[in-house]
Structure 1
């Protein structure tokens, strides 16, 4: 099988979650070490031209000549630089996922990812997205756990008009995918939170303005993910991004950011590491540029399975990484700084919360991130009726409405409930996320979104007699690549096709920094346990009830799961 351009890391993960760098003495395709000669086809087509040039070909040519006229390097390669993926051909089962090449798996329709840095939307933009969804995407609209909106069923003939509508309200698909700096995760409550460590609004905007579409960073070894927050909730999953800026108070220099690098999941999960460096607000842009340039210049380009920053960090270690950053890219030392404080509050921001101006922001849980075109329009209408013009998406597949007058909160909550948006959700509706799954994704083995909805409904019925002290996160992924972050969930489920059977491998006890845990950690795999989709609700109920029976006082699900006997986990 010819791997798709975005196939995830395929090296097996060590039990500890550590990843190893490649063997020394081999040509790894590092630009600063062995030059820029392309060592695989992906690097060849990227070297031919700036991949963003494909935008004009889509507008001028392919939208007129149709899908069949598009060369493979464009449709399966450069299109991703504009956020376009071919979606899975309908009717191709999961058994074919690892057997067929990208062309055989692909339909003549596209997923379009809308880039939303910081998850920021106005109500006008939200309404335009709803109209695009209804007119061109069969009313699909999924909120991803990267603060993006994803549409499906796009025809190449409709892409130019779709882009015109997006451009008219200041939205973009630029570098939503591809070997680029993808969407910058940002705290969705930046600028309105009542008691932040620091407001990252200016830094996020500077990153977006300076680097989205910047030709110096358009050809990276693989995808590159960024996060920035000043919230005490630690709300941008900073441990699993390539580079993260986390708000801290320096005892001498004041508010700024702690610098993390090298996080990523997939089949070789690795949590990011602190460099121990303090980044002042005015240094976020040059430090980001330096870290990203290290990846560009020293990242491993020969094998795409090793072409993430985590593998370079695994070889160098944080001390060398910081030294190279300072010596070769900044030309100065960064001051040492403190680690982030333990998280306070819920990172998903669901519910009603005080703003710093006396108004409220209201967070809504969806069902596994799924909306529709009509729901987006309804969201815009309800927000405006409540006096708001600003909407935010979160890295937890949630939707926030900012700037709500206190007297309008209840009416807003009631208006959005029929559209599947819940400000007072059940524990499982609040904490379940799912990837796209086999419905549209070419890498998936199993269905996810509908399964997640069914399990949520079942848990609301079966567990209504018990009190669950804290939400138990349930993450469902259709393949090993962990777009739904299975290794950092209380209950993480990895779809597989094994021995002519579709099953889920179970990971338990993972999580990121939160009030329940000082630092993130990867879950444990329950040996020999494979759950079918039909048995999933039974399993989730069983393991939840066992946890409630066996837990010690104040013990979280993750604490229990990491220490429980395996018989209790089956």
Structure 2
């Protein structure tokens, strides 16, 4: 994508489509559609004062030359995000500092950089470029995230222009990887190769990115906007602002069901079906119409109510759909609900493709890799005949197009670099956010804790027949999808045995995105006072697993079903 420096623009009230606006609510929520153009908080003022995409020019021509101290605060804590940059946490700041300090007081002079990989696709030149950037400029850091991105750390402002140049040379970008804008578009990691896929959604993902990502008209949304387009339900569709999921219409054939209003954090909501069927070639237009509705009607007064989910909850699906249809200028076609899987699909292991070849899915330990490991991955893929990889929204990596006679050798080669295609259930099903190591919002360490938990459970429960998801998060924002895991762990400070505050977790139990075929997901059970210290976490999980296995009514009773019926004492 070629970056074009946009002109400054006021809120585009003129873009609001006539005749489709619902009646305004009594209290102003900063909605542009109702003429509320004056910013109601500092974040909105920053975006109005100067289009966030414009900051690239200053990064390249001023800040990278004059250093970190020259960066204006409104750029540093606002507009930088539109180019995938967050200041990371200053080392050695205490876990409790977040409770008394503004996050900006924890700024280090280094950045996290998020590389945009829509659909999770990386060819070998791109993979090698990311690996090289990690080694040269990011102290060999790299994490695979649950948004199909790769994140780097320890980035200096002086190096950003050169990093961008290297990424752009292979077709990669950091544009709108963060910020109040359309984030990375999730796609099925096996799009185009799956034996179960009817329609490859990749053309729609690419069209959305090419047409709309970096467009100034959609670069100032009330909050971040997360979306996915996938025939298979192998993405977390229920926690996105917008998801398109494959379905066959009885009369019109294959297309996509539309889900809106999902999101987690401190006010979790699951997406709801719009009841509309959309053919593949119309997905980008419907996607854009929904983004425009969010831009014009989304709440801009309070940041904690600015996500699309609040608008959908207040309006209801029928009203929201009517407004979207007004933006499209035509009605949407009613459609059936899609079939849902019994559990999230992560594609780990060796699986056949539709063309007779195979793909190999591997599990990095809680998503942590490195530039060195990514370079070794590229080498292993090339030696075994591959040309690309896919990242998954479960912090996994897939290697497609492997010949049948090469799968065993590739599995062994990947194991040698710490990427396991036959992982233990705990290594396979544990995810973690960035945590206090780099994130200014976190209150506990997560990556190391989660990795240690996996290793401990692999020893303690090696022969126990159970497969549970464990999602570890450093704060309430649920980047690791705490509320929809079998065991969700939300970081907080708790009282240790001596009464002093130590790192620990509030526990959510029995959540999931699809608890049974055809059944929607649900949030985990949260009991008052159900917490564990970080040190006691392995003991707690081990105890809980044994109670579940001893107390379930039959082997068919799921963990979520057991959690839903047992008394609280069994869960402590």
Q: TM-score range by the shorter chain?
A: over 0.9
Cα pair 2:342 2:517 within 8 Å, conserved: no
Tell me what 1:371 maps to.
Answer: 369
Alignment TM-score, normalising by the size of structure 1:
0.93
Tell me what 1:437 maps to.
Answer: 435
Cα pair 2:342 2:514 within 8 Å, conserved: no
Q: How far did 1:332 drift?
A: 1.2
Correspondences of 1:125-204 after superposition (within 5 Å): 125-204=126-205
Q: How far did 1:175 drift?
A: 0.2
Looking at structure 2, the residues matched to 115 and 154 of structure 1 have their Cα atoms a distance apart, in angstroms, of: 16
Alignment TM-score, normalising by the size of structure 2:
0.93
* 1:556 maps to 2:551: no
* 1:244 maps to 2:243: yes
- Structure 1 runs, 4 residues or longer, greater than 4 Å off: 514-517
Cα pair 2:85 2:111 within 8 Å, conserved: yes
Cα pair 1:516 1:556 within 8 Å, conserved: no
Correspondences of 1:320-331 after superposition (within 5 Å): 320-326=319-325, 328-331=326-329
Cα pair 1:76 1:102 within 8 Å, conserved: no
Tell me what 1:356 maps to.
Answer: 354
Q: Pick from 493, 515, 523 the counterpart of residue 497 of structure 1.
A: 493
Q: How far did 1:35 drift?
A: 2.8
Task: Look up the SS of the partner of 1:534 in the other structure.
Answer: coil
Segments of 5+ residues of structure 1 without an aligned counterpart are 1-22
Tell me what 1:426 maps to.
Answer: 424
Cα pair 1:342 1:514 within 8 Å, conserved: no
Q: How far did 1:308 drift?
A: 0.3
* 1:116 maps to 2:117: yes
Correspondences of 1:479-518 after superposition (within 5 Å): 479-498=475-494, 500-513=501-514, 518=519
Cα pair 1:270 1:310 within 8 Å, conserved: yes
Task: Look up the SS of the partner of 1:225 in the other structure.
Answer: strand
Looking at structure 2, the residues matched to 261 and 345 of structure 1 have their Cα atoms a distance apart, in angstroms, of: 21
Q: How far did 1:517 drift?
A: 6.8
Q: How far did 1:565 drift?
A: 1.7
Tell me what 2:304 maps to.
Answer: 305
Q: How far did 1:478 drift?
A: 0.4
Question: Greater relative contact order: 1 or 2 (C-alpha under 8 angstroms, separation 6 or more)?
Answer: 1
* 1:280 maps to 2:279: yes
Cα pair 1:276 1:336 within 8 Å, conserved: yes
Instruction: Return closer, same or farther for 1:514/1:355 CA change in 2, 3 Å cut-off.
Output: farther
Segments of 5+ residues of structure 2 without an aligned counterpart are 1-23, 496-500
Tell me what 2:5 maps to.
Answer: none
Task: Look up the SS of the partner of 1:91 in the other structure.
Answer: coil
Tell me what 2:228 maps to.
Answer: 227
Cα pair 1:86 1:106 within 8 Å, conserved: yes
Looking at structure 1, the residues matched to 490 and 339 of structure 2 have their Cα atoms a distance apart, in angstroms, of: 32
* 1:386 maps to 2:384: yes
Task: Look up the SS of the partner of 1:278 in the other structure.
Answer: strand
Cα pair 1:264 1:271 within 8 Å, conserved: yes
Instruction: Return closer, same or farther for 1:170/1:514 CA change in 2, 3 Å cut-off.
Output: farther
Task: Look up the SS of the partner of 1:177 in the other structure.
Answer: coil
Task: Look up the SS of the partner of 1:97 in the other structure.
Answer: helix
Q: How far did 1:519 drift?
A: 1.4
Aligned residues: 543
* 1:83 maps to 2:84: yes
Looking at structure 2, the residues matched to 127 and 346 of structure 1 have their Cα atoms a distance apart, in angstroms, of: 30
Of stretches 70-79 and 194-203 in structure 1, the one that deviates more from structure 2 is 194-203
Task: Look up the SS of the partner of 2:399 in the other structure.
Answer: strand
Tell me what 1:66 maps to.
Answer: 67
Tell me what 1:341 maps to.
Answer: 339
Tell me what 1:569 maps to.
Answer: 571
Tell me what 2:471 maps to.
Answer: 475
Instruction: Return closer, same or farther for 1:367/1:256 CA change in 2, 3 Å cut-off.
Output: same
